[in-house]
Structure 1
Amino acid sequence: MSAYQAFIFDFDGVLADSVEVKTRAFEALYLAHGPEVAAAVVRYHREHGGMPRREKFRRFETELLGRAADEAELDRLCAAFSRLVLDGVVEAAEIPGALAFLRRWQGRVPLFVNSATPDAELAVILERRGLDGYFQAAYGSDRPKAGNLATILAQGGFAPEKTLFFGDALSDHAAARHCGTGFLGIVRDAASPLLRLDPAPAHCRDFFEAAQRINGEMR
C-alpha cells in the first residue's frame, strides 16, 4: 500500500520534456520586436514556468512593449502560440521513467494532472500521447493551479499531507504550499529556480529517482 492518497502531476517538464518547445515558441512570436525583446521574453518564461501563457503575454505586451494588453491581441497571441507548440509537445520525449511510474501506480493511487496549459489543449495533448486513460481528471489553466489543487483535494476527500504534487516550477511549489500538500520537484536543470529557494524543496532528476524515493518512504 502507498503512504499517499493521490499523485498530481504538472505536465511540461514533469511528464514531458516539452519546456523548450514552448520557449522557442515565445521567442518566435517576439523576434520581430528585436533580439533584446525576444531574449527578455525567453528569460521571463524560464523564470516563471507554470504561469499561464495569457498572463505571460499580458506582461510582455505591457512591460516589454509598453502598450495596452488588448484582449483581442491576447487571443491572437494565444492562438498562434497553440499552433506553434501543439505538435511539438505531443512529440516531445517523456521525462525518463514517467510512463513506467504511471503504469506502476495506475489503479493503486488516483492520478491527476494540474497544468498551466489551457484545458482543451491539455485534453488533446494527453489523448494524442495516449496518456488520458491514466488520469482520473486533468485540470488546465482555465483556473489557477492552487485552485485546481484545492478542487482535487476537496472532490477526492484527500488529506493534503497524504497528497504529492510533482512539479518543476515555482508556481507548482507555491500551489503545493498554499494547499498544504507534499511537493517533489522534477529538476533536470541546475539553473532551475526551485534550486534557489532556501531551503530547496525535495527534488529528483526524473521518475526513476522519484520511484526510488517513494519506495524508500514505504519501507
Structure 2
Amino acid sequence: MSIKSIFWDFDGVILDSMHIRDVGFIRILSAFPHNAIDELIRYHRENGGLSRYHKIRYFFEQILGEPISEEEVNRYADAFSNIMREMLVDPANLIQDANLFIAKHYKDYEFHIVSGSDQNELRFLCSKLNLSQYFKSINGSPTVKNKLVAELLGEVPYSIDEICLIGDSQNDFDAASLNGISFWGYNNPSLKEKGYNYIESFSELKHI
C-alpha cells in the first residue's frame, strides 16, 4: 500500500538549526560552569529529537545533580524560545533539498510536523518562513514525540501502513516504531549505518 501521509520532524530535516540551538543553550545557561554546558551540548547533539524541557531538566538533575522545579524549567525554556524566535527566522537556515520536495508534493501527500521543538515557537517559525501552508498540522513539545505521533494517528484518515515518519534521530525512529509506522532517516548517516530506510537526497527519491 502506498504512503498517503508523511509525518515530518523539523530540526535537521526541514530547518538546519542544531548550531543555533547550541547557542541558545549556551546563552541561557551562561551562569554555570563551561564544562557542564559542554556536556549538555554533547547530549543535545546526540539526542536531537528530545525537547528542550527534557534537556534543561537533564542539565540540572543529571549533569549538575541539582533539583529543578517545573516553573524553573519553563522559565529557562521561555528564555530559550525567545532566542530561537530571533535567530531561526532566517530563510537561509532552510534545508533546500527537503523544502523543495515539500513545496512540490504537498498536494500529493498529507503532511504533518511532529517535532521536539516547542509547539508555539514551531508554529511561529513556520508562519514566518512561509511553511504553514504545506502542513495539515504542526505539533511540538512539551508533549513527547511518540505521544504526538500516537495522537495524530487517531486523527488522520489513513491506516498505519499508509503513513511514514521522516526524521534525523534515533528518537524519531523510536517514535515511529512504537506507533507501528514506517520510518525514513535523513541527514544523519548513522541512521543509514543502522540499516534503517534512508533518504540520501529528496531529488533522487523514487518513492516513499
Verify same fold: TM over 0.5: yes
Q: What's 1:76 paired with? A: 75
Query: Which amino acid counterpart does residue 201 of structure 1 have in structure 2?
Result: Y
Q: What's 2:56 paired with? A: 57
Deviates more, 1:7-16 or 1:66-75: 66-75
**Rounded Cα–Cα distance in structure 2 between residues aligned with 1:74 and 1:133:** 32
Residues matched between the structures, number: 207
Query: What do residues 31-80 of structure 1 show as CA deviations (whole Å, max 9, x unaligned)?
Result: 43222111101111011111111111111111111211122221221111
Q: What's 2:112 paired with? A: 112
Query: Which amino acid counterpart does residue 94 of structure 2 have in structure 1?
Result: E
Q: What's 1:173 paired with? A: 173
Query: What do residues 78-100 of structure 1 show as CA deviations (whole Å, max 9, x unaligned)?
Result: 11111122222221521132222
Shift of 1:211: 4.4
Shift of 1:110: 0.5
Indicate if the aligned counterparts of 1:30 and 1:37 stay in contact, CA closer than 8 A: no
Shift of 1:195: 5.1
**Rounded Cα–Cα distance in structure 2 between residues aligned with 1:20 and 1:202:** 26
**Rounded Cα–Cα distance in structure 1 between residues aligned with 2:23 and 2:177:** 30
Q: In structure 1, the residue corresponding to 2:117 is in which secondary structure?
A: coil
Indicate if the aligned counterparts of 2:51 and 2:116 stay in contact, CA closer than 8 A: yes
Indicate if the aligned counterparts of 1:18 and 1:88 stay in contact, CA closer than 8 A: no
The sequence identity of aligned pairs, in percent, is: 26
Q: In structure 1, the residue corresponding to 2:164 is in which secondary structure?
A: strand
Q: What's 1:121 paired with? A: 121
**Rounded Cα–Cα distance in structure 2 between residues aligned with 1:152 and 1:38:** 35
Instruction: Note closer, same or farther for the CA distance 1:83–1:164 as it changes in structure 2 (3 Å cut).
Output: same
Query: Which amino acid counterpart does residue 41 of structure 1 have in structure 2?
Result: L
Give the CA RMSD over aligned residues.
1.9
**Rounded Cα–Cα distance in structure 1 between residues aligned with 2:127 and 2:67:** 36
Q: In structure 1, the residue corresponding to 2:49 is in which secondary structure?
A: coil
* TM-score w.r.t. length of structure 2: 0.91
Q: Do structure 1's residue 203 and structure 2's residue 202 form an aligned pair? A: no
Shift of 1:130: 0.4
Q: What's 1:134 paired with? A: 134
Instruction: Note closer, same or farther for the CA distance 1:60–1:172 as it changes in structure 2 (3 Å cut).
Output: same
Task: Name stretches of at least 5 consecutive residues in structure 1 with no aligned partner.
Answer: none
Query: Which amino acid counterpart does residue 149 of structure 2 have in structure 1?
Result: L
Instruction: Note closer, same or farther for the CA distance 1:44–1:100 as it changes in structure 2 (3 Å cut).
Output: same
Shift of 1:165: 0.8
Query: What do residues 152-181 of structure 1 show as CA deviations (whole Å, max 9, x unaligned)?
Result: 222113222221211011111100101111
Indicate if the aligned counterparts of 2:53 and 2:142 stay in contact, CA closer than 8 A: no
Indicate if the aligned counterparts of 1:110 and 1:136 stay in contact, CA closer than 8 A: yes
Q: In structure 2, the residue corresponding to 1:69 is in which secondary structure?
A: coil
Q: In structure 2, the residue corresponding to 1:12 is in which secondary structure?
A: coil
Query: What do residues 124-168 of structure 1 show as CA deviations (whole Å, max 9, x unaligned)?
Result: 111000010111111111322112212222211322222121101
**Rounded Cα–Cα distance in structure 1 between residues aligned with 2:202 and 2:138:** 21
* TM-score w.r.t. length of structure 1: 0.87
Q: In structure 2, the residue corresponding to 1:15 is in which secondary structure?
A: coil
Q: What's 2:158 paired with? A: 158
**Rounded Cα–Cα distance in structure 2 between residues aligned with 1:164 and 1:61:** 35
